[in-house]
């Protein structure tokens, strides 16, 4: 018979797929299975705030996941198993030696400089990243890299981390969303100084997606204090964002000026030549039977987003293996057009705003009243499920929103649809309206 911890580890494996990475790292990663008896499964968490949050937000999803694993209906309870202590940080730290809190293997092993395809669109950012990783005392600090989703910013951050750790540099990596979640938790637990200590005694800070904190005043202020401490101690700082500091809405003047102290470099969307080079590199790794014509066709059809390009290659690779034949350019076109046979984003939006009696531009706007927020979340859910669009595509359609909150909205509806008959009925009505158009 499996122990509670063994069952919970299986559940965590499934939950990691169901929820966003920041949510998993902040709320689930440091939990454990405590006991399972009398049809009640007890999950241990670090503090009462996490227990309350999981009870409110993920109770039904966790209950369903555990029931599928165990094979019978159960109840779930969350209890505190460690007191007076913050949960282990989602901040990744490594120094390349035996004393590192987290080894460099925590960074994505595929995101190295060797695997980064250099083109005219990213050559300057690549050169600057190499410079930072090799020379802590280079002339620019901070290094600020910005560009659209899927252009390689996170790849460069992890590549810097791998190279720096190889040089025995003490590196810390944080995602802005995880940073915000931990800061909020630290404030609630009255352990802000403990949180701040996690950013001491490091030689390099890599901070991803800083645009996530631009509308969070207290988080911005606290990050500015950490920035000052690290900068004054000659710690090198590398930051990524989806736009340059000047274009960031709701950012404080103090933080904006700090981000402009060093070198600001854009990464442009990959052009055809870069896309083709990426496809050649990835295809060599995957050993997919695809002709040069097929690769060129794919590079022409999908430009501007490396993630979409790699996703399409993965899809075509699976099709090639199933058919046992080498894919031609014409076959690639047919397969991609078949994959693109899905509901139009604008058609979904029209159905949703029509159902909620909202103006057509409401979902792309900034209003957050209850009705508009629900309509926006439902539109996200339907564009993902009915249309098969990526979170980045959906965010672009809804007023150039970042993919992270788009993913959160999708997860919220995915969870609540199982416990709310009213929401389920609304979704059914809107789907009928979409398919009748």
State both tokens at 373. 């927020």
Dihedral sign of CA atoms 232, 238, 240, 244 in order: positive
- Whose tokens are 């810097």? That residue is 160
- Determine the pLDDT at residue 223: 92
Query: What mean pLDDT value characterizes the chain?
Result: 80
- Determine the pLDDT at residue 110: 78
- Determine the pLDDT at residue 301: 76
* 309 and 281 Cβ atoms separated by less than 8 Å: no
User: Could you tell me how many residues make up the chain?
Assistant: 437
The Cα 240–Cα 16 span in angstroms is 25
The Cα 16–Cα 20 span in angstroms is 7
* All domains of the chain in start order, with CATH: 4-80 (3.30.300.180), 92-266 (3.40.50.300), 272-339 (1.10.8.60), 345-436 (1.10.1750.10)
- Determine the pLDDT at residue 335: 64
The Cα 365–Cα 374 span in angstroms is 13
- Determine the pLDDT at residue 86: 33
Distance of CA 430 to the CA centre of its chain: 28
State both tokens at 215. 């509308």
Greatest Cα pair distance in the chain:
64
Q: How does pLDDT run along the chain (437 residues), one tens digit per residue?
A: 678 888 998 999 889 888 877 678 778 888 888 888 778 898 988 766 677 778 878 888 999 999 999 888 888 988 876 433 333 344 555 554 433 333 344 577 778 898 888 888 888 999 999 988 887 656 788 999 998 877 889 889 999 988 888 888 888 888 887 788 888 888 888 888 888 888 888 888 999 889 888 778 888 999 999 999 999 888 899 999 988 888 887 788 888 999 988 899 998 888 888 888 888 888 777 777 777 888 888 887 776 677 777 777 777 777 777 666 677 777 777 666 654 444 578 889 989 999 999 988 899 988 888 899 999 999 998 888 777 677 777 888 898 887 778 888 888 888 787 677 788 888 888 887 776 65
Reduced 3-state DSSP string for the chain: CCCHHHHHHHHHHHHHHHCCHHHHHHHHCCCEEEEEECCEEEEEECCHHHHHHHHHHCHHHHHHHHHHHHCCCCEEEEEECCCCCCCCCCCEEECCCCCCCCCHHHCCCCCCCCCCCCCCCCHHHHHHHHHHHHCCCCCCCCEEEECCCCCCHHHHHHHHHHHHHHCCCCEEEEEHHHHHHHHHHHHHCCCHHHHHHCCCCCCEEEEECHHHHCCCHHHHHHHHHHHHHHHHCCCEEEEEECCCHHHCCCCCHHHHHHHCCCEEEECCCCCHHHHHHHHHHHHHHHCCCECHHHHHHHHHHCCCCHHHHHHHHHHHHHHHHHHCCCECHHHHHHHHHHHCCCCCHHHHHHHHHHHHCCCCCHHHCCCCCHHHHHHHHHHHHHHHHCCCCCHHHHHHHCCCCCHHHHHHHHHHHHHHCCCCHHHHHHHHHHHHHHHHC
- Determine the pLDDT at residue 82: 46
- Determine the pLDDT at residue 341: 44
* 180 and 210 Cβ atoms separated by less than 8 Å: no
């Amino acid at each position: 018979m499996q122990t509670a911890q063994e069952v919970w580890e299986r559940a965590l494996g499934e939950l990691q797929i169901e929820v966003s990475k920041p949510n998993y790292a902040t709320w689930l990663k440091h939990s454990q299975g405590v006991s399972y008896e009398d049809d009640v499964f007890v999950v241990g968490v670090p503090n009462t705030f996490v227990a309350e949050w999981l009870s409110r937000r993920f109770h039904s999803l966790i209950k369903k996941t555990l029931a599928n694993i165990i094979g019978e209906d159960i109840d779930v309870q969350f209890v505190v198993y460690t007191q007076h202590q913050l949960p282990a940080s989602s901040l990744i730290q490594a120094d390349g030696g035996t004393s590192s809190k987290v080894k460099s293997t925590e960074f994505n092993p595929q995101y190295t400089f060797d695997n980064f395809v250099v083109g005219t669109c990213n050559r300057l950012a690549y050169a600057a990243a190499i410079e930072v990783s090799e020379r802590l005392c280079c002339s620019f600090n901070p290094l600020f890299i910005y560009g659209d989703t899927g252009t390689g910013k996170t790849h460069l951050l992890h590549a810097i981390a791998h190279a720096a750790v190889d040089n025995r540099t003490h590196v810390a990596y944080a995602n802005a969303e995880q940073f915000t979640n931990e800061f909020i938790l630290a404030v609630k637990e009255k352990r802000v100084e403990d949180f701040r200590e996690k950013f001491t005694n490091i030689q390099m800070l890599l901070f991803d997606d800083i645009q996530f904190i631009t509308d969070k005043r207290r988080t911005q202020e606290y990050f500015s204090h950490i920035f000052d401490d690290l900068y004054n101690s000659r710690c090198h700082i590398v930051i990524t964002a989806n736009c340059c500091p000047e274009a960031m809405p709701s950012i404080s003047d103090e933080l904006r000026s700090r981000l402009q102290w060093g070198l600001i470099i854009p990464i442009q969307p990959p052009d055809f030549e870069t896309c083709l080079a990426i496809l050649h590199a990835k295809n060599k790794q995957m050993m997919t039977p695809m002709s040069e014509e097929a690769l060129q066709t794919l590079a022409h059809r999908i430009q501007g987003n490396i993630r979409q390009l790699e996703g399409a290659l993965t899809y075509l690779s699976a099709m090639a293996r199933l058919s046992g034949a080498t894919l031609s350019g014409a076959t690639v076109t047919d397969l991609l057009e078949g994959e693109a046979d899905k509901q139009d984003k604008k058609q979904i939006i029209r159905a949703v705003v029509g159902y909620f009696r909202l103006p057509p531009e409401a979902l792309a706007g900034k209003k957050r009243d209850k009705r508009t927020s629900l309509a926006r979340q439902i539109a996200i859910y339907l564009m993902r499920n009915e249309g098969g669009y990526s979170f980045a595509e959906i965010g672009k359609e809804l007023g150039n929103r970042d993919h992270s909150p788009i993913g959160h909205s999708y997860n919220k509806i995915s969870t609540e649809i199982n416990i709310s008959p009213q929401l389920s009925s609304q979704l059914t009505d809107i789907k009928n309206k979409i398919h009748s158009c």
